[in-house]
Amino acid sequence: MKSIVTAMIANLHAKPDETSELIDEVLYGMTVDILTDCHEDWVYVQTAYRYKGYCQKADLLLDEETAAKWHSEAQPIIIQSFADVLQQPRIQSTKLMTLVKGSSIGVVTQEDVPEEWSAIQLVSGKIGYVRTKWLQEKPSQTQITEHSFRENVVQTALSYLATPYRWGGKSPLGIDCSGLCSMAYMLNGVTIFRDAKMVEGFPIVKIEKEDRQKGDLLYFPGHIALYMGDNLYVHSSLGGNEVTINSLDKQHALYRHDLATTLTEVGSLFPEKPNR
């Protein structure tokens, strides 16, 4: 049974208990599959990227028909760090709710709406308004060149710079290392595995370390980063407490010895060896 996230951020826990480990966050408008109905407050779910955890029913719309329809239709996503959904298309209007980057909504056509505003439909069916420049149709990686995709993934990751580190986080409110990399790819039309490892069935494959290019993924023991080129990488660092940039180059001011000396693998969406 499919369900839709109706909270700004729905927490996925390791156990059906609010005090248990936060293992992931699912953003507004994303759909999940309910695997087990635990009891009156919790369900065990699987995300579209095959991650499993316990979610509170209060954060979901438990309606199979609505969820299936929502999932099948191409939904625009929020690309602004935070976006207030307003009752009217004017800045002074009352807020319906706030959404974070990566949230999915519906767009409706309305006459007499100023060009800088878009009318959107929430999961509840309510109509609200957000700035048009804060919306983006769900992208397709196949519609752009490899070079553009690599550039876009890096720029998306950099848009989270200085975001606080949050274990299991996946939004500008707080994000962890795999949350950052998975969101950078998701916002550019590619679903990768949520954790700091490569998993069969997802599009990232191992390449030689010396073949790494901008937008590839760097894997360390229990950690993942996104390569920017020139030996630089962006990552959400538990040690650094936020999304930051570091270097693999020992001579660089941003060098981190603990990571540079423990790089285990490099993964890429484009496994063909580059021309030298």
Band of residue 104 on the pLDDT scale cut at 50, 70, 90: very high
Cβ 13 vs Cβ 54: under 8 Å: yes
DSSP 247: E
**Does 113 lie in the same domain as 33?**
no
**Does 152 lie in the same domain as 245?**
yes
Range of the domain at 56: 2-72
Q: What is the DSSP string of 185-217?
A: HHTTT----SSSS--TTSS-EEE-GGG--TT-E
Q: Which residues are catalytic?
A: 177, 223, 235
**Does 127 lie in the same domain as 57?**
no
pLDDT of residue 271: 86
**Does 32 lie in the same domain as 85?**
no
pLDDT of residue 274: 65
Whether 42 has a pLDDT exceeding 90, the answer reads: yes
* Crossing angle of helices 146-158 and 177-186, rounded to 10°: 140
**Does 152 lie in the same domain as 129?**
no
| Distance separating alpha carbons of residues 103 and 30, to the nearest angstrom | 7
Q: Is residue 48 part of a domain?
A: yes
Instruction: Give the residues across from 170 on adjacent strands.
Output: 175
Q: Is residue 94 part of a domain?
A: yes
**Does 125 lie in the same domain as 81?**
yes
Number of domains in the chain: 3
Cβ 256 vs Cβ 223: under 8 Å: no
Q: Is residue 153 part of a domain?
A: yes
pLDDT, tens digit, 9 for 90 and up, residues 112-124: 899 999 999 999 9
Name the percent of the chain lying above pLDDT 70. Answer: 98
**Does 91 lie in the same domain as 153?**
no
Q: Which residue has the higher pLDDT, 239 or 15?
A: 15
Contacts of 155 (CB under 8 A, 6+ apart): none
| Distance separating alpha carbons of residues 212 and 228, to the nearest angstrom | 10
209: left (phi over 0), alpha (psi -120 to 50) or beta: alpha
pLDDT, tens digit, 9 for 90 and up, residues 202-229: 999 999 999 999 999 999 999 999 999 9
**Does 102 lie in the same domain as 36?**
no
Residue 61's domain is classified under what CATH number? 2.30.30.40
Please state the rounded mean pLDDT for residues 133-156.
Answer: 91
Q: What angle do CA 86, 89, 95 make, to 5 degrees?
A: 15
Q: Which residue has the higher pLDDT, 109 or 98?
A: 98
Of the three residues 89, 119, 136, the one that is the final residue of a domain is 136
**Does 126 lie in the same domain as 197?**
no
Cβ 12 vs Cβ 22: under 8 Å: yes
pLDDT of residue 276: 53
Please state the rounded mean pLDDT for residues 195-207.
Answer: 95
Whether 253 has a pLDDT exceeding 60, the answer reads: yes
Of the three residues 90, 117, 136, the one that is the final residue of a domain is 136
